[in-house]
Amino acid sequence: MGFSVGTLLAHAGLSLLPVVLFLFGLNLVDTYKLMSLRSIVRTVGVGLAVAAVCYGLNTAVFMWTPIPADQWARFGAPALEEIAKALYLVWLIRTNRVAFLVDSAVSGFAIGAGFAILENLTYLPELTTAGLAAAAVRGLGTAMMHGGTTAVFGIVSTNRAEIRGTDRLSVFLPGLLIAIVIHTLYNQPLLPREVSAGLVLVALPAVLSLVIWQSEKALKEWLGTKLDKDIDLLNMIATGTFSESHAGSYLRSLDNTFAPVILGDMLCYLQMSLELSARAKGDMLRREMGFPLSPDPELPGQLKELAYLEGQMGRAGMLALSPLLGTSHRDIWELKHLTAE
């Protein structure tokens, strides 16, 4: 049976457009604008590429293995697709390109949205046979499922990485298992497809909205606490009272370990990293309040100077200075965020 171009476009729009709108809605509620529009579009593109790879792998399984197609679709494909979608998010987390629940959720949903766009397009002729309303619910439910499972994976993994202070692969297993279980249950014929889609459309947006709301509160508290600490240390360095602090006492204890010139580089590195850290947090607060940000022409030179000092101190110097520096995923993310501006 053939379908007009208008009918196909109507089905495609109903199954895809709401997901894209929800994705950009998530970005709008991110008041600190942790992800730029360019980053979101790039991540959607990664999701499209992942879908193309999975389409090829699933097709190969159907054609070249004795596994029944319906069994693979119900149990094998969910694991394959969730692992494939998770890989890019693992890279984002391990390279400190995302550090908070908000940007992890948006990144995960963007990957899933890109995946769903290509998958729903391949299923479009099949969806049109179900009628406009049913096709819209089924297509939108599948798209929301793909975005939601990867967002859940990102949220769980980012939270575990922050709590445990490590980004080892074992940190990502619980989130991956949760995503696979949700996807597998969605693919089972336990309920009519329209009912399963409806449950996903109600539950996942509610969960993501709650997580983002809680994350925004935690982010605001973190910003205030860390910014106060950065400013206090900078004031002590500027007023000459740093040597009387615990941090100054620790730095003086390294007199017998490092040459005076290296100790001077350590102090310069500490001051510059505190200034950049305070600037990154200030920028986030300004974004939240809606103030525009203008590029700082001195920033590239400061980052270059920071890299030079790190080279002068060497690995031993950086390890000795690490108790005074922020070394969590969020602290390292700050510098990457500045560089990306």
Grouped pLDDT means (10 residues each) for the chain, 341 residues: 59 67 69 73 93 94 90 94 96 86 87 88 67 66 87 91 81 95 89 77 78 72 71 81 81 83 86 80 69 72 83 84 67 59 50
Rg (CA), the chain: 24
pTM over cut 0.75: no
- Rounded distance between C-alpha atoms, residue 168 and residue 161, angstroms: 8
CA distances from 175 to 50, 144, 154, 161, 293 (A): 19, 17, 7, 11, 35
pLDDT of 40: 86
DSSP 3: -
Q: Angle at the Cα of 162 (from 160 to 164), degrees rounded to 5?
A: 65
